[in-house]
Structure 1
Protein backbone atom coordinates (compact mmCIF):
# COMPACT_ATOMS: atom_id res chain seq x y z
CA UNK A 1 0.00 0.00 0.00
CA UNK A 2 1.40 3.39 -1.02
CA UNK A 3 1.88 6.08 1.63
CA UNK A 4 1.93 9.59 0.19
CA UNK A 5 3.06 12.68 2.08
CA UNK A 6 2.04 15.74 0.09
CA UNK A 7 4.62 18.54 0.12
CA UNK A 8 3.26 22.05 -0.41
CA UNK A 9 6.40 23.78 -1.67
CA UNK A 10 6.71 27.50 -2.50
CA UNK A 11 8.15 28.21 -5.94
CA UNK A 12 11.17 26.37 -7.33
CA UNK A 13 14.59 25.95 -5.70
CA UNK A 14 15.47 22.62 -4.03
CA UNK A 15 12.26 20.63 -4.41
CA UNK A 16 14.29 17.80 -5.97
CA UNK A 17 15.58 17.05 -2.46
CA UNK A 18 12.29 15.20 -1.98
CA UNK A 19 13.06 12.96 -4.95
CA UNK A 20 16.39 12.13 -3.29
CA UNK A 21 14.72 11.42 0.07
CA UNK A 22 12.02 9.31 -1.56
CA UNK A 23 14.66 7.27 -3.39
CA UNK A 24 16.72 6.81 -0.21
CA UNK A 25 13.66 5.49 1.62
CA UNK A 26 12.74 3.25 -1.29
CA UNK A 27 16.23 1.75 -1.35
CA UNK A 28 15.94 0.49 2.24
CA UNK A 29 12.19 -0.08 2.54
CA UNK A 30 10.69 -0.64 -0.93
CA UNK A 31 7.69 -2.52 0.48
CA UNK A 32 6.47 0.69 2.16
CA UNK A 33 5.98 2.40 -1.23
CA UNK A 34 6.57 5.89 0.19
CA UNK A 35 5.84 8.80 -2.14
CA UNK A 36 6.60 12.48 -1.53
CA UNK A 37 4.69 14.37 -4.23
CA UNK A 38 5.53 18.07 -4.47
CA UNK A 39 2.78 20.63 -5.09
CA UNK A 40 4.24 24.01 -6.03
CA UNK A 41 2.43 26.90 -4.34
CA UNK A 42 2.23 30.44 -5.68
CA UNK A 43 4.99 32.88 -4.83
CA UNK A 44 4.95 36.56 -5.75
CA UNK A 45 8.40 37.23 -4.27
CA UNK A 46 11.04 34.85 -2.93
CA UNK A 47 12.93 37.65 -1.20
CA UNK A 48 14.16 36.62 2.25
CA UNK A 49 12.26 39.38 4.03
CA UNK A 50 9.72 39.06 6.81
CA UNK A 51 7.03 40.64 4.63
CA UNK A 52 7.62 38.45 1.57
CA UNK A 53 7.76 35.24 3.58
CA UNK A 54 4.57 36.13 5.44
CA UNK A 55 2.88 36.54 2.04
CA UNK A 56 4.20 33.15 0.91
CA UNK A 57 2.41 31.50 3.84
CA UNK A 58 -0.99 33.10 3.35
CA UNK A 59 -3.96 30.77 3.73
CA UNK A 60 -5.30 31.10 0.18
CA UNK A 61 -1.98 29.99 -1.32
CA UNK A 62 -1.85 26.94 0.94
CA UNK A 63 -5.51 26.17 0.31
CA UNK A 64 -4.83 25.92 -3.42
CA UNK A 65 -1.96 23.50 -2.75
CA UNK A 66 -4.16 21.39 -0.48
CA UNK A 67 -6.82 21.20 -3.19
CA UNK A 68 -4.32 19.91 -5.76
CA UNK A 69 -2.77 17.52 -3.24
CA UNK A 70 -5.98 15.54 -3.01
CA UNK A 71 -5.20 13.88 -6.35
CA UNK A 72 -2.38 12.03 -4.54
CA UNK A 73 -4.63 10.70 -1.74
CA UNK A 74 -2.12 11.81 0.91
CA UNK A 75 -1.85 10.29 4.36
CA UNK A 76 -0.46 13.60 5.62
CA UNK A 77 0.29 17.07 4.28
CA UNK A 78 3.33 19.24 4.98
CA UNK A 79 3.79 22.96 4.39
CA UNK A 80 7.36 22.59 3.17
CA UNK A 81 8.55 26.07 4.02
CA UNK A 82 10.49 27.17 7.08
CA UNK A 83 10.34 30.96 6.91
CA UNK A 84 6.76 30.93 5.62
CA UNK A 85 5.76 29.23 8.86
CA UNK A 86 8.07 30.52 11.62
CA UNK A 87 7.45 34.11 10.55
CA UNK A 88 4.00 33.74 12.13
CA UNK A 89 5.49 32.74 15.50
CA UNK A 90 5.14 29.40 17.28
CA UNK A 91 1.43 29.72 17.99
CA UNK A 92 0.77 31.19 14.56
CA UNK A 93 2.58 28.30 12.88
CA UNK A 94 0.42 25.84 14.80
CA UNK A 95 -2.72 27.67 13.68
CA UNK A 96 -1.44 27.66 10.11
CA UNK A 97 -0.86 23.90 10.22
CA UNK A 98 -4.24 23.30 11.83
CA UNK A 99 -5.89 25.19 8.97
CA UNK A 100 -4.07 23.01 6.41
CA UNK A 101 -5.14 19.88 8.31
CA UNK A 102 -8.75 21.04 8.39
CA UNK A 103 -8.80 21.72 4.66
CA UNK A 104 -7.02 18.47 3.80
CA UNK A 105 -8.88 16.24 6.22
CA UNK A 106 -5.48 14.78 7.06
CA UNK A 107 -2.76 15.37 9.68
CA UNK A 108 -0.62 18.34 8.70
CA UNK A 109 2.37 20.32 9.90
CA UNK A 110 5.09 22.61 8.58
CA UNK A 111 8.86 22.67 8.34
CA UNK A 112 9.26 24.97 11.35
CA UNK A 113 7.10 22.76 13.53
CA UNK A 114 9.00 19.75 12.18
CA UNK A 115 12.27 21.24 13.46
CA UNK A 116 10.77 21.54 16.94
CA UNK A 117 9.41 17.99 16.81
CA UNK A 118 12.74 16.61 15.56
CA UNK A 119 14.57 18.30 18.45
CA UNK A 120 12.12 16.72 20.90
CA UNK A 121 12.57 13.33 19.24
CA UNK A 122 16.35 13.52 19.65
CA UNK A 123 16.26 15.10 23.11
CA UNK A 124 17.94 18.30 21.93
CA UNK A 125 17.61 21.50 23.93
CA UNK A 126 20.61 23.53 22.70
CA UNK A 127 21.26 24.18 19.03
CA UNK A 128 23.23 26.28 16.59
CA UNK A 129 21.57 27.72 13.49
CA UNK A 130 23.21 28.01 10.08
CA UNK A 131 20.69 30.21 8.27
CA UNK A 132 20.71 31.34 4.68
CA UNK A 133 18.55 34.32 5.62
CA UNK A 134 19.47 37.91 6.43
CA UNK A 135 19.51 38.62 10.16
CA UNK A 136 16.00 40.12 10.51
CA UNK A 137 14.39 36.95 9.13
CA UNK A 138 16.83 34.58 10.85
CA UNK A 139 16.05 36.23 14.19
CA UNK A 140 12.42 35.18 13.78
CA UNK A 141 13.52 31.54 13.68
CA UNK A 142 15.46 32.03 16.92
CA UNK A 143 12.31 33.46 18.53
CA UNK A 144 10.25 30.55 17.21
CA UNK A 145 12.64 27.97 18.66
CA UNK A 146 12.81 29.79 21.99
CA UNK A 147 9.02 29.65 22.23
CA UNK A 148 9.26 25.93 21.44
CA UNK A 149 11.58 25.46 24.45
CA UNK A 150 14.83 25.18 22.46
CA UNK A 151 17.83 27.36 23.34
CA UNK A 152 19.79 28.84 20.44
CA UNK A 153 23.48 28.89 21.38
CA UNK A 154 24.67 30.48 18.14
CA UNK A 155 23.10 31.98 15.04
CA UNK A 156 24.89 32.59 11.76
CA UNK A 157 22.83 34.65 9.30
CA UNK A 158 24.36 34.42 5.82
CA UNK A 159 22.44 37.26 4.20
CA UNK A 160 21.36 35.33 1.10
CA UNK A 161 18.71 37.53 -0.42
CA UNK A 162 16.38 35.09 -2.19
CA UNK A 163 15.29 31.46 -2.18
CA UNK A 164 16.46 31.19 -5.79
CA UNK A 165 19.98 32.16 -4.78
CA UNK A 166 19.92 29.67 -1.88
CA UNK A 167 18.99 26.92 -4.33
CA UNK A 168 22.30 27.36 -6.17
CA UNK A 169 24.46 26.56 -3.12
CA UNK A 170 26.72 23.51 -3.49
CA UNK A 171 28.20 21.16 -0.91
CA UNK A 172 31.28 23.30 -0.29
CA UNK A 173 29.15 26.34 0.45
CA UNK A 174 26.98 24.30 2.78
CA UNK A 175 29.96 22.98 4.76
CA UNK A 176 31.33 26.50 5.11
CA UNK A 177 27.97 27.75 6.39
CA UNK A 178 27.84 25.09 9.09
CA UNK A 179 31.47 25.56 10.09
CA UNK A 180 30.82 29.25 10.68
CA UNK A 181 27.72 28.52 12.78
CA UNK A 182 28.85 25.60 14.93
CA UNK A 183 29.73 25.98 18.59
CA UNK A 184 30.78 23.41 21.16
CA UNK A 185 27.80 24.15 23.41
CA UNK A 186 25.30 23.23 20.68
CA UNK A 187 24.03 19.65 20.64
CA UNK A 188 23.05 19.93 16.98
CA UNK A 189 23.17 22.24 13.98
CA UNK A 190 19.92 23.33 12.38
CA UNK A 191 19.84 24.40 8.73
CA UNK A 192 16.51 26.11 7.97
CA UNK A 193 15.43 26.86 4.40
CA UNK A 194 13.75 24.33 2.15
CA UNK A 195 15.25 26.26 -0.80
CA UNK A 196 18.68 24.88 0.14
CA UNK A 197 19.84 21.51 -1.25
CA UNK A 198 20.99 19.47 1.76
CA UNK A 199 19.65 15.90 1.58
CA UNK A 200 22.60 14.33 -0.21
CA UNK A 201 25.14 15.78 2.24
CA UNK A 202 23.57 15.13 5.64
CA UNK A 203 25.62 12.08 6.60
CA UNK A 204 28.87 13.78 5.54
CA UNK A 205 27.94 16.86 7.54
CA UNK A 206 27.23 14.80 10.66
CA UNK A 207 30.53 12.98 10.26
CA UNK A 208 32.37 16.29 9.88
CA UNK A 209 30.80 18.05 12.86
CA UNK A 210 30.24 15.06 15.15
CA UNK A 211 26.64 15.90 16.03
CA UNK A 212 23.16 15.71 14.52
CA UNK A 213 22.52 17.99 11.57
CA UNK A 214 18.86 18.79 10.97
CA UNK A 215 17.99 20.30 7.62
CA UNK A 216 14.72 21.72 6.35
CA UNK A 217 13.74 19.20 3.69
CA UNK A 218 14.95 16.30 5.85
CA UNK A 219 12.85 17.24 8.89
CA UNK A 220 9.85 17.99 6.68
CA UNK A 221 9.88 14.51 5.15
CA UNK A 222 10.50 12.89 8.55
CA UNK A 223 7.61 14.73 10.19
CA UNK A 224 5.26 13.95 7.33
CA UNK A 225 6.06 10.26 7.65
CA UNK A 226 5.63 10.43 11.43
CA UNK A 227 2.20 11.98 10.99
CA UNK A 228 1.37 9.22 8.52
CA UNK A 229 2.30 6.62 11.15
CA UNK A 230 5.58 5.52 9.56
CA UNK A 231 9.05 5.25 11.09
CA UNK A 232 11.76 4.30 8.61
CA UNK A 233 15.43 3.59 9.43
CA UNK A 234 17.37 5.30 6.62
CA UNK A 235 21.09 5.70 7.42
CA UNK A 236 21.64 7.88 4.36
CA UNK A 237 19.35 10.58 5.77
CA UNK A 238 21.18 11.19 9.03
CA UNK A 239 20.68 10.46 12.70
CA UNK A 240 17.10 11.78 12.70
CA UNK A 241 16.11 8.80 10.56
CA UNK A 242 18.07 6.24 12.58
CA UNK A 243 17.61 7.25 16.22
CA UNK A 244 14.63 6.07 18.31
CA UNK A 245 12.84 8.77 20.32
CA UNK A 246 14.51 9.82 23.55
CA UNK A 247 12.53 8.67 26.58
Structure 2
Protein backbone atom coordinates (compact mmCIF):
# COMPACT_ATOMS: atom_id res chain seq x y z
CA UNK A 1 0.00 0.00 0.00
CA UNK A 2 1.12 3.55 -0.78
CA UNK A 3 -0.23 6.38 1.36
CA UNK A 4 -0.10 10.00 0.21
CA UNK A 5 -0.97 12.51 2.94
CA UNK A 6 -2.74 15.71 1.99
CA UNK A 7 -3.11 18.95 3.94
CA UNK A 8 -6.26 20.58 2.61
CA UNK A 9 -7.51 24.06 3.57
CA UNK A 10 -11.07 24.06 4.86
CA UNK A 11 -13.87 22.19 3.10
CA UNK A 12 -14.73 22.65 -0.58
CA UNK A 13 -13.81 19.84 -3.00
CA UNK A 14 -12.04 17.32 -0.78
CA UNK A 15 -14.45 14.62 -2.00
CA UNK A 16 -12.39 14.61 -5.21
CA UNK A 17 -9.73 12.60 -3.36
CA UNK A 18 -11.74 9.49 -2.44
CA UNK A 19 -13.05 9.57 -6.02
CA UNK A 20 -9.44 9.48 -7.22
CA UNK A 21 -8.72 6.55 -4.92
CA UNK A 22 -11.58 4.59 -6.47
CA UNK A 23 -10.58 5.43 -10.04
CA UNK A 24 -6.97 4.42 -9.40
CA UNK A 25 -8.38 1.04 -8.32
CA UNK A 26 -5.27 -0.01 -6.45
CA UNK A 27 -3.66 -0.06 -3.01
CA UNK A 28 -3.23 3.71 -2.96
CA UNK A 29 -4.68 5.68 -0.06
CA UNK A 30 -5.05 9.45 0.19
CA UNK A 31 -5.88 10.57 3.74
CA UNK A 32 -6.83 14.23 4.07
CA UNK A 33 -6.20 16.47 7.08
CA UNK A 34 -8.03 19.80 7.00
CA UNK A 35 -5.96 22.85 7.92
CA UNK A 36 -7.32 26.00 9.50
CA UNK A 37 -8.30 28.15 6.55
CA UNK A 38 -8.51 31.41 8.48
CA UNK A 39 -10.34 33.84 6.20
CA UNK A 40 -11.79 32.25 3.07
CA UNK A 41 -10.60 34.75 0.50
CA UNK A 42 -8.58 34.64 -2.71
CA UNK A 43 -6.76 37.71 -1.49
CA UNK A 44 -2.98 37.89 -1.13
CA UNK A 45 -2.82 38.66 2.59
CA UNK A 46 -5.35 35.94 3.45
CA UNK A 47 -3.56 33.40 1.25
CA UNK A 48 -0.19 34.15 2.85
CA UNK A 49 -1.69 33.50 6.27
CA UNK A 50 -3.47 30.34 5.06
CA UNK A 51 -0.17 28.85 3.91
CA UNK A 52 1.87 29.82 6.97
CA UNK A 53 4.28 27.26 8.40
CA UNK A 54 2.42 26.95 11.71
CA UNK A 55 -0.91 26.17 10.05
CA UNK A 56 0.66 23.46 7.92
CA UNK A 57 2.77 21.95 10.68
CA UNK A 58 -0.32 21.51 12.85
CA UNK A 59 -1.62 18.74 10.60
CA UNK A 60 1.47 16.65 9.95
CA UNK A 61 1.32 14.42 13.03
CA UNK A 62 -2.09 13.09 12.02
CA UNK A 63 -0.76 12.27 8.56
CA UNK A 64 2.28 10.50 10.00
CA UNK A 65 -0.03 8.38 12.15
CA UNK A 66 -2.02 7.55 9.00
CA UNK A 67 1.16 6.10 7.50
CA UNK A 68 1.83 8.85 4.98
CA UNK A 69 4.94 8.32 2.85
CA UNK A 70 4.77 11.82 1.41
CA UNK A 71 2.90 15.03 2.21
CA UNK A 72 1.43 17.56 -0.21
CA UNK A 73 0.01 20.96 0.72
CA UNK A 74 -3.15 20.63 -1.35
CA UNK A 75 -3.55 24.30 -2.12
CA UNK A 76 -2.38 26.15 -5.20
CA UNK A 77 -3.03 29.78 -4.29
CA UNK A 78 -1.71 29.26 -0.76
CA UNK A 79 1.64 28.24 -2.21
CA UNK A 80 2.36 30.22 -5.40
CA UNK A 81 1.36 33.42 -3.61
CA UNK A 82 4.74 33.20 -1.86
CA UNK A 83 6.60 33.41 -5.17
CA UNK A 84 9.05 30.89 -6.59
CA UNK A 85 11.62 31.06 -3.79
CA UNK A 86 9.09 31.53 -1.03
CA UNK A 87 7.12 28.49 -2.19
CA UNK A 88 10.31 26.42 -2.07
CA UNK A 89 10.91 27.58 1.50
CA UNK A 90 7.32 26.68 2.37
CA UNK A 91 7.74 23.05 1.34
CA UNK A 92 11.20 22.84 2.92
CA UNK A 93 9.61 23.84 6.23
CA UNK A 94 6.78 21.35 5.67
CA UNK A 95 9.21 18.53 4.93
CA UNK A 96 11.14 19.29 8.12
CA UNK A 97 7.96 19.40 10.20
CA UNK A 98 6.65 16.15 8.71
CA UNK A 99 9.92 14.28 8.43
CA UNK A 100 8.71 13.23 4.98
CA UNK A 101 9.13 14.28 1.35
CA UNK A 102 6.84 17.26 0.80
CA UNK A 103 5.50 19.44 -1.98
CA UNK A 104 2.53 21.64 -2.86
CA UNK A 105 -0.05 21.80 -5.62
CA UNK A 106 1.81 24.68 -7.27
CA UNK A 107 4.93 22.57 -7.74
CA UNK A 108 2.73 19.63 -8.72
CA UNK A 109 1.57 21.65 -11.72
CA UNK A 110 5.12 22.49 -12.83
CA UNK A 111 6.25 18.86 -12.49
CA UNK A 112 3.16 17.54 -14.29
CA UNK A 113 3.67 19.96 -17.19
CA UNK A 114 7.21 18.63 -17.58
CA UNK A 115 5.98 15.05 -17.30
CA UNK A 116 3.73 15.67 -20.30
CA UNK A 117 6.61 17.20 -22.23
CA UNK A 118 4.72 20.48 -22.66
CA UNK A 119 6.19 23.97 -22.86
CA UNK A 120 3.23 26.20 -23.70
CA UNK A 121 0.33 26.32 -21.25
CA UNK A 122 -2.95 28.18 -20.80
CA UNK A 123 -4.37 28.97 -17.37
CA UNK A 124 -8.11 28.79 -16.68
CA UNK A 125 -8.41 30.11 -13.13
CA UNK A 126 -11.26 30.69 -10.74
CA UNK A 127 -9.26 33.43 -8.99
CA UNK A 128 -9.34 37.22 -9.27
CA UNK A 129 -6.96 38.71 -11.84
CA UNK A 130 -4.21 39.73 -9.42
CA UNK A 131 -4.00 36.23 -7.91
CA UNK A 132 -4.12 34.62 -11.37
CA UNK A 133 -1.20 36.85 -12.39
CA UNK A 134 0.84 35.48 -9.49
CA UNK A 135 0.23 31.92 -10.69
CA UNK A 136 1.24 32.94 -14.20
CA UNK A 137 4.48 34.41 -12.83
CA UNK A 138 5.13 31.22 -10.86
CA UNK A 139 4.71 29.09 -13.99
CA UNK A 140 7.03 31.37 -15.95
CA UNK A 141 9.63 31.03 -13.20
CA UNK A 142 9.43 27.25 -13.70
CA UNK A 143 10.30 27.67 -17.38
CA UNK A 144 6.82 27.30 -18.85
CA UNK A 145 5.49 29.68 -21.49
CA UNK A 146 2.04 30.95 -20.51
CA UNK A 147 0.19 31.79 -23.72
CA UNK A 148 -3.07 32.80 -22.02
CA UNK A 149 -4.47 33.28 -18.53
CA UNK A 150 -8.14 33.66 -17.78
CA UNK A 151 -9.34 34.91 -14.38
CA UNK A 152 -12.91 34.30 -13.21
CA UNK A 153 -12.88 36.73 -10.30
CA UNK A 154 -14.20 34.33 -7.67
CA UNK A 155 -13.20 35.47 -4.19
CA UNK A 156 -14.04 32.48 -1.96
CA UNK A 157 -13.28 28.76 -2.08
CA UNK A 158 -16.80 28.15 -0.78
CA UNK A 159 -18.28 29.58 -3.98
CA UNK A 160 -15.83 27.67 -6.18
CA UNK A 161 -16.85 24.44 -4.42
CA UNK A 162 -20.44 24.87 -5.65
CA UNK A 163 -19.43 24.79 -9.32
CA UNK A 164 -20.51 21.71 -11.25
CA UNK A 165 -19.86 20.13 -14.62
CA UNK A 166 -21.22 22.98 -16.77
CA UNK A 167 -19.19 25.66 -15.02
CA UNK A 168 -15.99 23.60 -15.06
CA UNK A 169 -16.30 22.84 -18.78
CA UNK A 170 -17.02 26.49 -19.56
CA UNK A 171 -14.01 27.58 -17.49
CA UNK A 172 -11.72 25.22 -19.39
CA UNK A 173 -13.07 26.21 -22.81
CA UNK A 174 -12.84 29.93 -22.09
CA UNK A 175 -9.29 29.57 -20.76
CA UNK A 176 -7.97 27.51 -23.66
CA UNK A 177 -5.76 28.97 -26.39
CA UNK A 178 -4.84 27.51 -29.81
CA UNK A 179 -1.12 27.68 -28.96
CA UNK A 180 -1.47 25.94 -25.60
CA UNK A 181 -0.30 22.33 -25.40
CA UNK A 182 -2.03 21.84 -22.06
CA UNK A 183 -4.66 23.73 -20.05
CA UNK A 184 -4.30 24.22 -16.29
CA UNK A 185 -7.20 24.60 -13.82
CA UNK A 186 -5.40 25.61 -10.62
CA UNK A 187 -7.88 25.58 -7.71
CA UNK A 188 -8.18 22.65 -5.26
CA UNK A 189 -11.59 24.05 -4.23
CA UNK A 190 -12.88 23.15 -7.71
CA UNK A 191 -14.44 19.74 -8.33
CA UNK A 192 -12.78 18.35 -11.46
CA UNK A 193 -11.98 14.65 -11.02
CA UNK A 194 -15.35 13.48 -12.36
CA UNK A 195 -14.84 15.49 -15.55
CA UNK A 196 -11.20 14.87 -16.50
CA UNK A 197 -11.77 12.76 -19.60
CA UNK A 198 -14.64 14.99 -20.73
CA UNK A 199 -12.47 18.08 -20.32
CA UNK A 200 -9.72 16.61 -22.48
CA UNK A 201 -12.23 15.46 -25.11
CA UNK A 202 -13.82 18.91 -25.23
CA UNK A 203 -10.48 20.70 -25.64
CA UNK A 204 -8.66 18.06 -27.66
CA UNK A 205 -5.56 18.30 -25.47
CA UNK A 206 -4.34 17.35 -21.99
CA UNK A 207 -5.92 19.15 -19.06
CA UNK A 208 -4.29 19.36 -15.63
CA UNK A 209 -6.43 20.15 -12.60
CA UNK A 210 -5.41 20.94 -9.05
CA UNK A 211 -6.74 17.88 -7.23
CA UNK A 212 -5.52 15.56 -9.99
CA UNK A 213 -1.93 16.86 -9.97
CA UNK A 214 -1.84 17.01 -6.17
CA UNK A 215 -2.30 13.26 -5.84
CA UNK A 216 0.05 12.59 -8.76
CA UNK A 217 2.72 14.70 -7.04
CA UNK A 218 2.36 12.81 -3.78
CA UNK A 219 2.77 9.52 -5.63
CA UNK A 220 5.81 10.90 -7.45
CA UNK A 221 7.40 11.80 -4.12
CA UNK A 222 6.61 8.31 -2.81
CA UNK A 223 8.22 6.86 -5.94
CA UNK A 224 4.99 5.13 -6.90
CA UNK A 225 3.84 5.19 -10.53
CA UNK A 226 0.11 4.72 -10.93
CA UNK A 227 -2.35 4.67 -13.80
CA UNK A 228 -6.08 5.08 -13.86
CA UNK A 229 -8.88 5.23 -16.39
CA UNK A 230 -10.90 8.46 -16.62
CA UNK A 231 -8.13 10.44 -14.94
CA UNK A 232 -6.76 12.22 -17.98
CA UNK A 233 -3.50 12.00 -19.89
CA UNK A 234 -1.42 12.45 -16.74
CA UNK A 235 -2.58 9.09 -15.36
CA UNK A 236 -2.95 7.29 -18.71
CA UNK A 237 -1.09 3.98 -18.92
CA UNK A 238 1.78 4.13 -21.43
CA UNK A 239 1.02 2.28 -24.64
Fold match by TM threshold 0.5 = yes
Work out the CA distance in 1 between the residues paired with 2:50 and 2:237. Answer: 33
Off by >4 Å, runs of 4+ in structure 1:
none
Counterpart for residue 204 of structure 2: 210
Listed as ranges, the matches of 1:137-156 within 5 Å are 137-156=131-150
2:205 partner SS = coil
Listed as ranges, the matches of 1:42-61 within 5 Å are 42-61=36-55
Report how far residue 243 of structure 1 moved: 5.9
Work out the CA distance in 1 between the residues paired with 2:119 and 2:77. Answer: 21
Find the partner of 1:176 among 166, 170, 182.
170
Work out the CA distance in 2 between the residues paired with 1:243 and 1:107. Answer: 25
Work out the CA distance in 1 between the residues paired with 2:230 and 2:163. Answer: 20
Listed as ranges, the matches of 1:109-124 within 5 Å are 109-124=103-118
* Conserved? CA contact 1:48–1:134, under 8 Å: yes
Counterpart for residue 12 of structure 1: 11
Aligned length: 238
2:124 partner SS = strand
2:97 partner SS = helix
* Conserved? CA contact 1:13–1:167, under 8 Å: yes
Work out the CA distance in 1 between the residues paired with 2:229 and 2:139. Answer: 26
Counterpart for residue 85 of structure 2: 91
The structure-2 alpha-carbon separation of the partners of 1:243 and 1:120, relative to structure 1 and needing over 3 Å to count, comes to: farther
Work out the CA distance in 2 between the residues paired with 1:159 and 1:113. Answer: 23
- Where do 5+ consecutive residues of structure 1 fail to align? none
Q: Deviations over 1:151-190 (max 9, x none)?
A: 1101110001100000000000011111111110000100
Report how far residue 98 of structure 1 moved: 1.3
Report how far residue 72 of structure 1 moved: 0.5
Counterpart for residue 221 of structure 1: 215
Work out the CA distance in 1 between the residues paired with 2:40 and 2:189. Answer: 10
The structure-2 alpha-carbon separation of the partners of 1:109 and 1:131, relative to structure 1 and needing over 3 Å to count, comes to: same
1:78 aligns with 2:77: no
Report how far residue 228 of structure 1 moved: 0.7
Report how far residue 21 of structure 1 moved: 0.4
Aligned-residue RMSD, C-alpha: 0.9
Which has the larger displacement, 145-154 or 99-108?
A: 99-108
Report how far residue 235 of structure 1 moved: 2.3
1:240 aligns with 2:234: yes
2:58 partner SS = helix
* Conserved? CA contact 1:9–1:80, under 8 Å: yes
